[in-house]
Amino acid sequence: MGKYINPFTDWGFKRLFGQEFSKDLLISFLNDLLEGELHVKDVTFKDKEQLADTKDLRGCIYDVYCETDEGKHFIVEMQNNWTINFVNRTICYASKAITNQREKEKAKLKIPLYDLVPVYVISFMNFPPREGDEIKKFKTDVMLREKNSEQPFTDKLRFIYLSLPLFDKKVGECETDFDKWIYVLKHMATLERIPFATQKKIFKRLADIADSRCLSKEEMEKYEESQRVVDNYNLGMYSAWYQGNEEGIKLGEARGEKNGFRKGQIATAKNLLAMHLTPEQVADTKDLRGCIYDVYCETDEGKHFIVEMQNNWTINFVNRTICYASKAITNQREKEKAKLKIPLYDLVPVYVISFMNFPPREGDEIKKFKTDVMLREKNSEQPFTDKLRFIYLSLPLFDKKVGECETDFDKWIYVLKHMATLERIPFATQKKIFKRLADIADSRCLSKEEMEKYEESQRVVDNYNLGMYSAWYQGNEEGIEKGIEKGKIDTQIATAKNFLAMKLTPEQVAAGTGLSLEEVLALMKKQ
């Protein structure tokens, strides 16, 4: 056994980065990782379990709540174990953290504020990249970015992948503190002494905590057990791969038969349609919910993705879309867990398409008609993964006239934007789908029951808009009053400071400004 513990066992990882007594290590590591961006002053572990006998090799620290010296907060999740579809797994973790925030918010508040704390998933990948892996270099930093933009679209989701086998610096080549961290963590299990301990106190602290000779008997037993779990895991992974390789051939054949059956179903449906059966006879759909969740789409190439569509504004609108996407990801994971014992993290991409039929608010991220956001690495134009995509269509920012609509997409947007005021649907003679749209959207063709439902939904919209304006108006009035009150207080404080500078007594200052004696005394202490 080496002098220092293996940091990439479950127990070793938690000892270094998941305990109250060693949280200074985590704070130092995060600050060196994010140097130049922010400075963490404290972390809080939401999971208070202290080095329990975990044998599932999770290797994850959930909900590490970080606070910067500027008072900002973010959540960090750290993990170090490879699984199939590793990147998908990290997206599942982030989605779960987002969903948990939303559930807590719903439990506290009646109104949806979608006031999200950013979620960072930091992955220590102590395994060589697999064929087809998205990770091609040591550090991969991924955020939601709009197409052709290097700037983050939002800070609410971030994924940092650290592939240790791709870090090839020698001890003398480590210039930054972050380099030194990575070198030590990568080689710790084989080191006889921790380098850099004389250069920076935190590495001396790391050496003390990681020294296996200082472990108690009980701690040593837990560490050895976690090491055995790692060894068994690696052996099991190889065995599973070998067996899976053999069984995969048979499974592939079975899936081929299943796909053939599905193609047969599609062919049958086409035959039924050719026999002039209505689509309603082929498949019966009855639900109209306002938002369309989990629309399961299939391309000509047999690929699949999920689409969510919505059109109502809320405060923190972009955060709301992230919550929807996270819920769709989490739901997939829950369904997978219900079917399988092993986590495959075989995610179907989730697209959130937002029709924003409302003008942008001050501070909104949406600045143009179409905003297309995906997970991309810094300085890269290519998507890092296709599992999350957000398309925002801000209709008030679409200003083309009917004669200026060149593409079919332009025509769709023009019609949808103006439909409620049109006497006829343009483009219906150019393309059949717009004639189809005109027929379905014609209010004169609605049944009495459908008309009642439509009128009721229109009343809901009108009441919503009226309520929104009323709330804004009331908030505006209250804001003015608060502003006046704050201005009054600021004036009192400024006057009090002047009086104190004139050597007036606290009692005289209180009498002259209207502040209480306690407030004056508190002001004197600050000075």
Sequence ranges of the domains in the chain: 10-242, 297-448, 464-526
Rounded distance between C-alpha atoms, residue 311 and residue 291, angstroms = 7
HEC-encoded secondary structure of 318-341: HHHHHHHHHHHHHHHHHHHHHHCC
Q: Which residues contact 492 (CB under 8 A, 6 or more apart)?
A: 513, 514, 515
* Percentage, residues of the chain above pLDDT 70: 76
pLDDT confidence tier of residue 508, bands split at 50, 70 and 90: confident
Q: Which residues contact 399 (CB under 8 A, 6 or more apart)?
A: none
Question: What pLDDT shows up at residue 363?
Answer: 73
Rounded distance between C-alpha atoms, residue 333 and residue 99, angstroms = 13
In angstroms, the Cα distances linking 65 to 18, 100, 160, 417 are: 12, 13, 17, 43
pLDDT confidence tier of residue 424, bands split at 50, 70 and 90: very high
pLDDT confidence tier of residue 60, bands split at 50, 70 and 90: low
pLDDT, tens only, 474-496? 656 666 666 666 666 777 788 78
For residue 366 the two structure tokens come to 């949406």
In this prediction, residues 192-206 reach a mean pLDDT of 94
HEC-encoded secondary structure of 64-80: EEEEECCCCEEEEEEEC
DSSP per-residue codes, 2-54: -SB--TTSHHHHHHHHS-GGGHHHHHHHHHHHTTTT--EEEEEES----S---
Q: Which residues contact 152 (CB under 8 A, 6 or more apart)?
A: 143, 144, 145
In angstroms, the Cα distances linking 391 to 246, 292, 415, 456 are: 42, 15, 19, 29
pTM equals: 0.74
Q: Which residues contact 202 (CB under 8 A, 6 or more apart)?
A: 24, 25, 28
Rounded distance between C-alpha atoms, residue 159 and residue 152, angstroms = 12
**Of 11-20, 135-144, 198-207, 245-254, minimum mean pLDDT range:** 245-254
Closest CA to 124 of 6, 247, 301, 254: 6
Asked whether the predicted pLDDT for residue 138 surpasses 90, the reply is yes
Question: What pLDDT shows up at residue 405?
Answer: 95
Residue with tokens 């995906």: 374
Which residue would you say has higher pLDDT here, 360 or 120? 120
**Strand, helix or coil for residue 355:** strand
pLDDT, tens only, 258-284? 454 445 445 544 544 454 444 544 443
Q: CA-based angle 522:524:527, to the nearest 5?
A: 115
Asked whether the predicted pLDDT for residue 461 surpasses 80, the reply is no
First to last CA, the chain: 59
Computed over every residue of the chain, the mean pLDDT equals: 80
Rounded distance between C-alpha atoms, residue 187 and residue 8, angstroms = 11
Asked whether the predicted pLDDT for residue 59 surpasses 60, the reply is no
pLDDT, tens only, 74-105? 888 776 666 678 888 889 989 988 998 989 88
For residue 170 the two structure tokens come to 């020698």
In this prediction, residues 42-61 reach a mean pLDDT of 55
In this prediction, residues 27-32 reach a mean pLDDT of 95
Among positive and negative, which fits the CA dihedral 357, 363, 367, 373? negative
pLDDT confidence tier of residue 290, bands split at 50, 70 and 90: very low
Question: What pLDDT shows up at residue 93?
Answer: 87
Q: Which helix (H) or strand (E) holds 372?
A: strand 370-377
In this prediction, residues 365-389 reach a mean pLDDT of 91
